[in-house]
Amino acid sequence: MPLVSKELRELLSEKTILIGVVLMPLVIFPLIGFSMAPVNMREGDAGPGAAVLVVDQDGGKYAALFVEALRKTGFNPQPIQLQNDNLLQLIENSGASAAVIIPQGFSTQLEQKNKPTVKLFLKLASSSIVEFERIGSMRDRFYAAVSLMGEALASEEGVAVSFYKAPIDLSGEVVYRDQIISETDAGQLFQQFFASTLLIPIALTLVVTTSGTIAATSIGLEKEAKTLEMLLTYPIGRSTILASKLLGSTVVALLGTASLMTGIVFYFSRLTAFAGMSITLSLSPLNLVLLMVVLFFALVTTLGLGVLAGVLAGDVRGSQQLAGLIQLPLILLPLLLFLSGGIQSLQQPLATIILIIPFTHLMLAIQAILESSYLNILLHVGVMVAWTVVIIGLAAFMFRGERLLTMRVKLGRRKPVV
Amino acid sequence: MYAVVAEGLWRFFSDNPVLRGVSLAVEEGGVYGLIGPNGAGKTTMFRILATLLRPSRGTAKVFGKDVVREASDVRRMIAYLPEEAGVYKNLTGRGFLKMVSRVYGLGSSALEQGVTISGLGEDVDRRMGEYSKGMRRRILLAGCLMVKPRLAILDEPTAGLDVEHSVYVRKIISQYAEQGTTFIVSSHNMLEVDYLCDRIALIHRGSIIAEGKPRELTASHNVQNLEELFVKKMGEAP
């Protein structure tokens, strides 16, 4: 027991452990929960009153019954006539979340106890978890409407149980990026999206976090070994020393980037090989270059943060702890929010705060690259470049003067008893 | 000409004065010892002369150049060896000396000079992470002296070294002092101070309490050696 007590005292006296292991989850997950609550509420697009375009080519009583069933399941059916219009354009222009085409002969087929097929088009606004969840939820409710139809049919005479349980076949398709893709493809698209959305940011986050620690360690080592004092008395400017440190760390970071990009290219080549789909989230050579650019700026920004941590701390351990403490919330928060629901789903004040964090733009840029939204890529890369300049400028400022030697930000760990 | 002239140097860390109006003048050539107990202000004084710290008040000049306003000029004339300075563990001794010679814009002759000063023989091509403390001190001293500084500031150059390495370091310092390099060194080893230094200053609690040639100081204070002088002056100090 005395040893356990000693261990607990030692471990809990380490602020990084206390903050990283105990306090951070207490802060981050409620924050995500708080931010995600509006996401679910905002899903009015899929919730009660969601607009559904109804192309009734039948006009019979069962078609009317199906429309009523849609209404009862919470949709807002909006009848339209489909003539020479393009259904895709109609869905886009109306702002509806879905469209159904009730075919000619729908009522007759049901009277003859044959299953008619209703075409269902679900609009996928973007490749995000929230969107995939939303269309999944809508599809479930369309099936609920079919069940309601079945219940109505069950009251009629001579209807077999197997028929009224599923009286209508739903032929589901997904509208994405002005294209109609099958639900099977959408499922694969979701798998791809999930694989890329999860793995690429996590992999990038690992490389980026490691790079920041490299820069912090580089300065921490110099301070700890007292080689920095000698280095600073050589007839070279501080800016040269800082540039050398950044350049050295950047080379290491670039090696990491190259390694990661090779892995990602291989990863995507396997994904597309398996999928064989008409639409994929695969990366074009241009997108790969853009991903590299985004990663590079994220790395340089992290290196700048690492330099700051190195300047502020007194030794290797301190600089690594400080780098972790600075980076962890800045990288983890956007990553978790991104994986959970996407920045667009946040309430405005919270979204503004999250958008200030440079690494939010790393996540958004990755998403934009996966969706080939080039204007958004440009915007987020621009923000990241601005942040890079600011952080490197701040690092250069901190590197000047004697604060490099005299600053000793301590994380309050207890001194060992001698 | 004076190698170092300090006038009324004060240095505070927060509200704590580490140097309290230190004034001293070190003539060019020879070895000048700054002697004092731990925390007396020696390292702070050295760091100011090496342009690493700024004085809170007062001025310090190295060969007429102000350490604050003309810091880059000062850095071209000095070499600084901090107390317990470390090494780049993954560089070889030769690699380190090569880096120093390139930083100073010197050629291969300086590098060979550095290798000679270090006296490490074939070990100069080993990684410095494998060096003993004495070997590390020798390679760092070689890095300082191979650039032929006008002023070498050495903070406890032999602290923690065994006899063999200490003797070697002292020999190199004497040799370079004879060739014209000015040294300002600190040490807790009074025998070493007596052997090396032409003049010394005793610093205590940030103030110079005695200054002069070792023999003159021991004679004027009626003591046998520098250790007795040190103890006596520390006892007298407020």
Could you tell me the domains of chain A?
A: 2-37+183-406 (no CATH), 45-160 (3.40.1710.10)
Q: Tell me which chain B residues have a C-beta less than 8 angstroms from the C-beta of A229.
A: 47, 50, 52, 80, 82, 85
With beta carbons under 8 A apart, name residues in chain A contacting B53: 402, 405-406
The model's pTM is: 0.70
Average of pLDDT values for B53-78?
A: 95
pLDDT at B101 exceeding the cut of 90? yes
In terms of C-beta density within 10 A (0-12 exposed, 13-18 middle, 19 or more buried), how is residue A68 classed?
Answer: middle
Chain A partners of B104 at a C-beta cutoff of 8 Å?
Answer: 234-235
Give first-to-last CA distance, chain A, whole Å.
22
Size of interface A-B (CB pairs under 8 A): 56
Q: What is the CATH number of the domain that holds B36?
A: 3.40.50.300
Backbone φ and ψ for A286, nearest 5 degrees, come out as -65, -45
A306: distance to nearest CA of chain B, Å?
20
Residues 6+ apart with CB under 8 A from A270: none
Cβ separation of B52 and A224 shorter than 8 Å? no
Mean pLDDT computed over A120-132: 75
Here the tokens at position A410 are: 């301590």
Q: Which of B43, B44, B75, B147 to mutate to test the interface with A (most CBs of A within 10 A)?
A: B75
Q: Tell me, what's the pLDDT at A341?
A: 60
Cβ separation B86–A229 shorter than 8 A: no
**What is the C-alpha to C-alpha distance for residues A355 and A223, in angstroms, rounded to an integer?**
35
Residues in B closer than 8 angstroms to A233, CB to CB, are 50-52, 75, 78-80
Chain A residues in contact with chain B using a Cβ-Cβ cutoff of 8 Å: 224-227, 229-230, 232-237, 401-402, 405-406
Mean pLDDT of A386-402: 85
Comparing B117 with A188, the larger pLDDT belongs to B117
DSSP letter, residue B82: -
What's the confidence (pLDDT) of residue A19? 65
* Nearest-angstrom CA–CA distance, B158 and B138: 10
Average pLDDT over residues B87-114: 92
Return the structure tokens found at A370: 């996966």
In a domain, B135, yes or no: no
Please count the structural domains in chain B: 1
The pLDDT of residue A1 is 60
Q: Is the pLDDT of residue B155 over 90?
A: yes
Question: Across the strands, what pairs with B59?
Answer: B7
Residues of A within 8 A of B103 (CB-CB) are 234-236
Residues in chain B: 238
- Contact: A405, B54; criterion CB under 8 Å: no
Q: What is the mean pLDDT of residues B53-62?
A: 96
- From chain B, the residues in CB contact with A232 under 8 A are 51-52
Helix B108-118 × helix B133-145 angle, to 10°? 140
Residues of A within 8 A of B88 (CB-CB) are 225, 227
Nearest to A232 among B52, B54, B79 (CB): B52
Residues of B in Cβ contact (< 8 Å) with A226: 82-86
Strands A179-182, B31-35: pairing kind: unpaired
> Which run of H or of E encompasses B12?
strand B2-13
Handedness of CA B196, B202, B204, B208 (dihedral sign): negative
Q: What is the pLDDT of residue A396?
A: 84
pLDDT of A125 over the 80 cut:
no
Pairing of strands A98-102, A50-56: parallel
The yes-or-no verdict on residue A88 having pLDDT over 50 is yes
User: Distance, in angstroms, between B217 CA and closest chain A CA?
Assistant: 33
Contact between residue B127 and residue B89 where contact means Cβ atoms under 8 Å apart: yes
Question: CA of A229: which chain B residue's CA is closest?
Answer: B82
Residue to substitute from A229, A316, A406, interface B, most B β-carbons within 10 A? A229
Among A229, A237, A402, the residue with its CB nearest the CB of B80 is A229
What is the spatial distance between Cα A132 and Cα A172, in angstroms, rounded to a whole number? 14
Averaged pLDDT of chain A: 76
Which residue of B47, B91, B102 to mutate against A (max A Cβ within 10 Å)?
B47
pLDDT for A186: 61
**Cβ separation A402–B52 shorter than 8 A:** yes
Residue, of A135 and A18, whose pLDDT is higher: A135
Residue A368: which H helix or E strand, with range? Answer: helix A358-370
**B113 or A266: whose pLDDT is higher?**
B113
Residue ranges in A225-343 assigned as alpha helix (H): 227-233, 238-275, 285-312, 316-340
CA distance A34 to chain B (A): 43
Whether B96 is covered by a domain: the verdict is no
Q: Do A227 and B86 touch (CB under 8 A)?
A: yes
% chain A with pLDDT above 90: 7
Looking at beta carbons, which residues of chain B come within 8 Å of A224?
86
The answer to whether position B94 is within a domain reads no
Chain A, nearest residue to B140 by Cα: A230
Q: Select the highest-mean-pLDDT range: A44-48, A305-309, B201-205, B229-233.
A: B201-205
Give the model's pLDDT for residue A94.
76
CA distances B141 to A225, A360, B162, Å, are 16, 49, 16
* B84 interaction partners in chain A (CB closer than 8 Å): 226
Give yes or no for residue B218 having a pLDDT over 70. yes
Q: Tell me whether residue B78 is in a domain.
A: yes
Question: How far is the C-alpha of B23 from the C-alpha of B16, rounded, in Å?
Answer: 19
- Answer whether residue B92 is part of any domain: no
Domain span at B182: 2-85+149-236
pLDDT in tens, A304-320: 888 888 888 878 888 88
Q: At A340, which amino acid appears? A: S
Contact yes or no for B103 and A232 at CB 8 A: no
What is d(CA A205, CA B232) in angstroms, rounded to the nearest whole number? 63
Average pLDDT, chain B: 93
Q: Are A277 and A189 in contact (CB under 8 A)?
A: yes
Answer yes or no: is B15 within a domain.
Answer: yes
CA B72 to chain centre: 19
Name which of B11, B46, B51, B52 to mutate to probe chain A: the one with the most chain A Cβ atoms within 10 A of its Cβ: B52
Give the per-residue pLDDT at A114. Answer: 86
For A320, residues 6+ apart whose C-beta sits below 8 A from its C-beta are A213, A216, A217, A220, A309
List the beta bridge partners of residue A179. A176
Domain presence at residue B185: yes
Q: Chain B interface, mutation test: which of A224, A230, A232, A406, most B Cβ atoms within 10 Å?
A: A230
B100/A233 Cβ within 8 A:
no
Chain B residue with Cα closest to A224: B86
**Residue B138 forms part of a structural domain:** no
- Report the C-alpha gap between B20 and B56 in whole angstroms: 10
